[in-house]
Amino acid sequence: MLSKIKMTKGEVIFFTAIIALGIFLRTYHFSDWLHFEIDQSYDTLIVSQAVENGVGNLPLLGPTAGGGRSLRLGPAFYYLEYASAKIFGDTPQGYAILVLIFSLLSLPLFYFFCKRYFSAVIALALLLAWASSLYLVAYSRFSWSPNVLPFLTLAFAYALLRSVDREEQKKERWFLLTAFLLAIVTQIHFNAFFIFPVVTILFLLLTRPRLKLRTWLFAILIFIAAYAPVVISEVKTHGQNLSYFFEKLDNGQGEKFVLGEKITQTFQYTASEYFLALTGIDHINDSNKLSGYGFVGKDAFPWRVGALIILAVVVGILSVSLKREKDQKRKDILLFSSVLFFVSTLYFLSLLRVNHEIYPRFFLTVIILPFIFLGLLLEKLTFKKLGKVSFILPLSLILLLFSINVPVLMNYFLQLQEVDKKPLVVMTEDIFPNTARVTLTQQYAITDYIEARVQENGYPVYLAAKHEYEPIFWYHLEKKGILYHKTLNGQAVYAQGNYFVIAFPGEGIGKHSKEFDITEEKSFGALIVYHLKPKSEAIIAKKQDENQFEIPLEKMQIEELLTWKKIFQK
């Protein structure tokens, strides 16, 4: 493939410069500022069992969906994490490098994908938008199953387009790669699980590629083989995961909804999240969330209306271009984009139908669409009759988008730089579903502080923290070999114990003030650690019997997972 790619000297220079920018934004203080919270600690603990004790300890199912620890995807993400940890280390950074590598690979792949339709100038412009997108940069800097979707969905789309190309000499191989990537992508996130099989079937029905029968059969076998762990798990558990799946569907039935309202909200979310991906400006995931048909908030109103107008314009351009396009290779990309947009919009509508919100991360599944739409708009703004100055308007637009992204990127990095020095809470939920900034460096500092207190007396640790942070300190303490009791329950207080509350500034220790006095309060920027001393009247015994220590729920759930080792032992 690379041998067929012809690039001019100028193209190589700009391509290299933009790739370098993308690499810098994704790797700058990658380890120090790593986002590592409850989902990351849970996944890491699961995979570390295999890293430390053998590959047979890998589970047959993958990450959970929709909260809780019941309904699960296929295990592809855990297997990818396992490979990453074996190569780069059984640490939070070692697991996250997988996401970083995929994000870096997406940069050149995105450019070659764009060149199948657009000119070199527009492809470079789109690459600049892709490389500098705060949305893509932020999701490339920590480990989470949705974060590998930009690369995997891009690779899937590229392979699918090559497999239906009439001029492609190795279309059979590309189609087998398509089947493999589809099997992996559908195990990463339930949005992809529902969207991409439908997109694939519709696209193949519309393009009718001429492939050998054995290619179809091999593709089916590849897909089945990739889902073998899921099938085995269902057989061994008598369809437990499938029952969870139907239970989730049943939970959404019977709720009242207004179809017109949900359609309006779906298009508002779609337009606004596309806008967020391209500019880094978020005007929809804050306190002024969508409500009915309205455009809540004076500040948000022009942004949301503007995003809807832009979406309507580019969808119109897509429709007209698809109808008029004569070149089959270009037409295939337009057709794929149309099918993906149609199917994903219906899917997001189905989510809102049962009163769910559409979160920013959901659009990682279809992240190539806003950039393709941007390319179509740039192409329409290119007036070829003007000769050498024909690209003035499209380049001006790209430079405008880049200039908008630069300050939000700088602000994002400045936040991460300052979080261990002062409290910082952002006003909107922007990229992540929380409003706090807590880095791995802060977590290590807090863990070291707790370790120092433990070394003074050797007592076990009892602590309380918010839901999303408590498991990560359990993880860090366990890595240090520190005896850890999961929670402060307010009922059993022992004289020999190291007690801590980890909270946001201003929250204090809350209900724990009845049993404890504060002996030390130490700030770690966005988090405050309170070292506590039990009040004499609250103490029920000198120390807790180690056999009575509570096994954390997360650890119990991990131990209950069905692994390859358990299968063979049975």
Q: What are 368-426's pLDDT values in tens digits?
A: 999 999 999 999 988 766 666 677 888 889 999 999 999 999 988 988 888 877 766 65
- Same-domain check for residues 346 and 458: no
- Same-domain check for residues 127 and 54: yes
Cα(132)–Cα(103) distance, integer angstroms: 12
Quickly count: other Cβ atoms within 10 Å of residue 218's Cβ.
Answer: 15
HEC readout, 504-522: CCCCCCHHHHHCEEEEEEE
What is the per-residue pLDDT for 52?
93
Residues in contact with 5: Cβ distance below 8 Å, sequence separation at least 6, in sequence order? 112, 115
422 in a domain, yes or no? no
Cα(80)–Cα(62) distance, integer angstroms: 11
pLDDT 10s per residue in the chain (570 long)? 444 556 788 889 999 999 999 999 999 999 999 999 888 998 999 999 999 999 999 999 998 875 545 788 999 999 999 999 999 999 999 999 999 999 999 999 999 999 999 999 999 999 999 999 999 999 999 999 999 999 999 999 999 999 999 988 999 999 999 999 999 999 999 999 999 999 999 999 999 999 999 999 999 999 999 999 999 999 988 888 888 777 766 665 545 667 888 888 899 999 999 999 999 988 887 766 776 666 666 677 888 888 999 999 999 999 999 999 999 999 999 999 999 999 999 999 988 866 567 888 999 999 999 999 999 999 998 876 666 667 788 888 999 999 999 999 998 898 888 887 776 665 555 566 566 778 999 999 999 999 999 999 988 888 888 888 888 998 899 888 887 765 665 567 888 889 999 998 888 888 888 889 999 999 998 889 999 999 988 888 888 777 666 666 667 777 788 899 988 875
What is the per-residue pLDDT for 1?
46
Q: What percent of the chain has pLDDT over 70?
A: 87
CA torsion 547-549-554-558 (nearest 10°) is -10
Residue 76: which of 223, 224, 183 has the closest Cα? 183
74 in a domain, yes or no? yes
129 beta partners? none
- Same-domain check for residues 27 and 148: yes
CA 191 to chain centre: 12
Cα(154)–Cα(129) distance, integer angstroms: 15
Residue 397: which of 289, 486, 481, 278 has the closest Cα? 278
- Same-domain check for residues 364 and 503: no
- Same-domain check for residues 168 and 290: yes
176 in a domain, yes or no? yes
Strand order of the β-sheet with 528-534 is 484-485, 461-464, 498-503, 528-534, 516-523
Cα(443)–Cα(437) distance, integer angstroms: 11
The structural domain count of the chain equals: 2
What is the per-residue pLDDT for 334?
96
- Same-domain check for residues 183 and 288: yes
- Same-domain check for residues 373 and 470: no
What is the per-residue pLDDT for 2?
45
pTM greater than the 0.85 cutoff: yes
The amino acid at 492: A
Cα(194)–Cα(185) distance, integer angstroms: 11
332 in a domain, yes or no? yes
Which pairs from 418-424 meet CB under 8 Å and 24+ separation?
A: 418/525, 419/525, 419/526, 420/445, 420/524, 420/525, 420/526, 421/525, 422/525, 423/504, 423/505, 423/523, 423/525, 423/526, 424/525, 424/526
196 in a domain, yes or no? yes
- Same-domain check for residues 189 and 256: yes
Q: How far is CA 54 from CA 23, 48, 86, 167, 419, in A?
A: 33, 9, 11, 46, 38
37 in a domain, yes or no? yes
- Same-domain check for residues 212 and 144: yes
What is the per-residue pLDDT for 543?
84
Indicate if the alpha-carbon torsion angle 464, 466, 467, 473 is positive or negative.
negative
Cα 216–Cα 221–Cα 227 angle in degrees, nearest 5: 130
570 in a domain, yes or no? no
Size of the chain, expressed as the number of residues it contains = 570
Count H helices, E strands: the chain? 21, 7
In the DSSP assignment, the letter for residue 146 is: G
- Same-domain check for residues 145 and 201: yes
Residue 15: which of 83, 103, 109 has the closest Cα? 109
- Same-domain check for residues 364 and 468: no
Segment (H or E) for 528: strand 528-534
Domain boundary among 401, 427, 458: 401
Cα(354)–Cα(359) distance, integer angstroms: 15
419 in a domain, yes or no? no
Cα(460)–Cα(486) distance, integer angstroms: 11
Cβ contact 348:269 at 8 Å: yes
Nearest 5°: phi and psi at 116? -70, -20
What is the per-residue pLDDT for 430?
53
Tell me which residue has tokens 């059993």.
492
Range of the domain at 228: 2-401
What is the per-residue pLDDT for 44?
93
- Same-domain check for residues 348 and 481: no
